[in-house]
Amino acid sequence: MATYRRITVMEDGGVSIVRFVDKKIVDSGTIEQLGEELSALVTVEKKNMLLLNFDSVEFMSSAALNKLISLNKKVKDAAGRLKLACLRPEIEEVFRITRLDRVFDLRKTQEDALAAFKL
Amino acid sequence: MSSRQPIWSCDKNLPSDLDAGHGCIEELMAAIEKAGWEGRDVFHIQMAIEEAVVNAIEHGNKRDPSKLVHVVFNVFDDLVTLSVTDQGQGFDHHNVADPTVEEHLDQPRGRGVMLIRELMTEAKYNDKGNSVWMRKEKSASEN
């Protein structure tokens, strides 16, 4: 498995569980690198069942949201599924305001998200 | 605008450099927390000022090193006012495509302006569109 600097990846029953290294995802260099690493998971490592666990993320800018939108397209193109879990209420509010809660499958807990992959 | 003296204020010109912008935002956020702000209000202010400063540097000044971003921040115990002005061409803020309609949901543009308007108590752009002024009143639940 490749070495990543902005994320950690753990496998669980065919699902790649991704956690974020940075508490605040705002710096443009960090966001670019994060986007590249998430993209590589799908296009290089051929992972297409992704669960992004946000439990360590306190803040993210709209530039980071754009990377998630891009990842979502790549996962769909790879006939995969993407789920987001453990977003703190303020970040979930941003998804709601921007209607991105209609684009992404948001789950309260990692367990909820893992169970949803089996549906 | 309040006539009271702010607890903390800042009036400076930043280079069109994201590191300088983030450094300035960190100072602002530290002052806000020191002034007793917390929770959702702090998150909302940080989201709005991040979007405003990054927009000014990247889309306004296009990272041109000869151009500056003028920021004025005032922090009170129950009110924060922020203005961000770039030296770019501005934009037509009356006609930003709605990022929440179905066909724009997967497009990258327009979300920053929308978040500023939604998360702050008030946000106004000048006619040219190169300057935004905004204020956040402390939420009743967090007083």
Count up the domains in chain A and report the number.
1
Residue B33 domain flag: yes
A2 within some domain:
no
A104, part of any domain: yes
> In this structure, are residues A20 and A4 in contact, taking their beta carbons and an 8 Å threshold?
no
Interface test with A, best of B33, B50, B59 (most A CBs within 10 A): B50
Distance, in Å, from the CA atom of B47 to the CA atom of A60, rounded to the nearest integer, reads 8
Quote the crossing angle between the two packed helices A89-97 and B111-119, to the nearest 10°. 120
Checking if the pLDDT of B6 tops 80, the result is: yes
Please, which pLDDT band fits residue A3 given cuts at 50, 70 and 90? confident
Q: What is the pLDDT of residue A10?
A: 97
Confidence at residue A74, expressed as pLDDT on a 0 to 100 scale: 96
Contacts of B40 in chain A (CB under 8 A): 89-90, 93
* pLDDT recorded at residue B103: 80
Nearest-CB residue to A98 (from B46, B54, B114): B114
% of chain A residues with pLDDT over 90: 91
The domain that contains A77 carries what CATH number? 3.30.750.24
Looking at the predicted structure, is the pLDDT value of residue B2 above 60? no
Q: State residue B143's pLDDT score.
A: 43
pLDDT value of position B79: 98
Q: Which B positions 29-68 lie with beta carbon below 8 A of chain A?
A: 40, 43-44, 46-47, 50-51, 54
ipTM: 0.86
Residues of B in contact with A94 (CB under 8 A): 47, 115
Please indicate, yes or no, if residue A11 is contained in any of the structural domains.
yes
Greater model confidence, B95 or A108: A108
Q: Single out the residue of B96, B118, B117 nearest to residue B107, CA to CA.
A: B96
The predicted model scores a pTM of: 0.90
Structural domain of A18: 7-114
* pLDDT for B142 beyond 70: no
pLDDT at residue B52 is higher than 60: yes
Structural domain tally of chain B?
1
Instruction: Give a yes or no: residue B46 inside a domain.
Output: yes
Average pLDDT, chain A: 95
For A47-68, what is each residue's pLDDT tens digit? 999 999 999 999 999 999 999 9
Range of the domain at B41: 8-142
For residue A20, pLDDT beyond 60:
yes
DSSP A27: -
Q: Check which CATH number belongs to the domain holding B124 and give it.
A: 3.30.565.10
Best A24, A61, A62 member to test B by mutation, with max B CBs in 10 Å, is A62
Inter-CA distances, B127 with A5, B52, B115, B118, Å:
43, 16, 20, 20
Q: Each residue of B60-110: pLDDT tens digit?
A: 999 999 999 999 999 999 999 999 999 999 988 888 888 888 888 877 778
Instruction: Report the gap between the CA of B121 and the closest CA in chain A (Å).
Output: 15
* pLDDT at residue B36 tops 50: yes
User: Any chain B CB within 8 A of the CB of A63?
Assistant: yes
Contact B115 A103 (CB under 8 A): no
In a domain, A72, yes or no: yes
